[in-house]
Amino acid sequence: MALLITDECINCDVCEPECPNGAISPGEEFYVIEASLCTECVGHYETSQCVEVCPVDCIIVDPQHQETREELQDKYLKLTGQRESVGAADG
């Protein structure tokens, strides 16, 4: 599952540098997480680093992007170049 930053975000800037995948960026009103880049830190850390540092607990599981731990691990491998994406070898 990807994570989601709610509108309770206070734009404190602590989550963005903690994301090892670069999935967090400033949005129009508050920070946002790009679901295609979010692995919940699987492959990098035991826990989601953005959740750990958020002072207002506004980072939740995104109900629209449900993924198993195995799917998150596979996404991590693709993002880090340790596994080719499906169709990438088709050329």
Residue 50 sits in a domain of what CATH number?
Answer: 3.30.70.20
Is the whole model's pTM more than 0.95, yes or no? no
Per-position DSSP letters for 10-71, written without gaps between them: ---SSSGGG-TT--EEE-SSSEEE-TTT--TTTTT-SS-HHHHH-TT--EEE-TTS---HHH
Domain for residue 89, yes or no? no
- Domains identified in the chain, total number: 1
Domain for residue 90, yes or no? no
Please give the pLDDT value at position 22. Answer: 97
Q: Are β-strands 59-61 and 31-33 bridged in parallel, bridged antiparallel, or unpaired? A: unpaired
Query: Domain residues for 61?
Result: 3-83
- Comparing C-alpha atoms, which of 39, 44, 37 is closest to residue 71? 39
Please give the pLDDT value at position 17. Answer: 98
Domain for residue 74, yes or no? yes
Domain for residue 73, yes or no? yes
SS3 label, residue 75: helix
**Does the pLDDT value for residue 68 go beyond 90?**
yes
Please give the pLDDT value at position 91. Answer: 42
Q: Phi and psi at residue 25, in whole multiples of 5°?
A: -150, 160
For 9-66, write each residue's pLDDT tens digit: 999 999 999 999 999 999 999 999 999 999 999 999 999 999 999 999 999 999 999 9
Domain for residue 91, yes or no? no
Domain for residue 88, yes or no? no
Please give the pLDDT value at position 86. Answer: 53
